[in-house]
Amino acid sequence: MKLSLFQPDIVWGNPQANQEALARMMREAAPSDLYVLPEMFSTGFAVEPADIAEADGSSLAWMKQMAAELKGAVCGSVATEEGGNYYNRFYFVKPNGEVVTYDKRHLFTYGNEHRHYQRGNQRTVVEFRGCRFLLQVCYDLRFPVFSRNNEKVPYDCALYVASWPSSRLPVWDTLLHARAIENQCYVVGVNRIGADPACQYSGGTMLVDAYGRTVAACPLSEPSVITVELDLQKLRDFRSKFPVLKDAD
């Protein structure tokens, strides 16, 4: 299972420019099973979504186009309007056009995200090409109970797509490693670089394995992409040899 992780500089409020830039990066990346984009990759993170949220599904249509072209799944979150409500919606788009969604559950009250977006009410795990992915968005990373790996809805890799500010980057790094260790899984953290009207971003995009080791990482503060491979047999062997999850509450 190969994943390409993208760390772009996002142009504020300009979906066309961001999609064009990402399309170039994706076509130049190594062929992968899954292409992972950051939180609100088409616009940048906006607390007040009225001017940027999409009701027409244009970013989703672009994701479907890219997934079909690249013959791999494409995922990332988009500010979405539906029925007069706003959602920070994580789309996982398969190359056959199938779409799985997850609405961000933990809204960032410190930044008033909860005043404008509807909170998601369920955890989402999607299976693709033999790997089970837990879909998570940014602030979800701080809440380990919600992401706890369990026998009812197990997963192999947690995907955290984010707009995580530079000022809190040490927390990002620490929590990604903690989630991997406690859940005996791979963890992907994909973050942007650059700036928006509120924050600066330095990236910190990486893959962490179940031992808590950084497998690969993008250089800080540079637009970049890394392609990584998940060794699912190695993960299964580790879980069998050291069955931590069976002792969980």
* Residues classed as catalytic: 39, 104, 138
17: which 2 tokens? 């420019």
Cβ contacts of 22-27, under 8 Å, gap ≥ 24: 23/62, 23/66, 25/223, 25/225, 26/66, 26/70, 26/74, 27/70
Which residue in the block uniquely carries the two structure tokens 């903690």? 178
Indicate the SS3 state at residue 161. Answer: strand
Amino acid in the structure at residue 30: A
For the CA atoms of 58, 64, 70, 72, the dihedral, rounded to the nearest 10 degrees, stands at: 130
Amino acid in the structure at residue 154: P
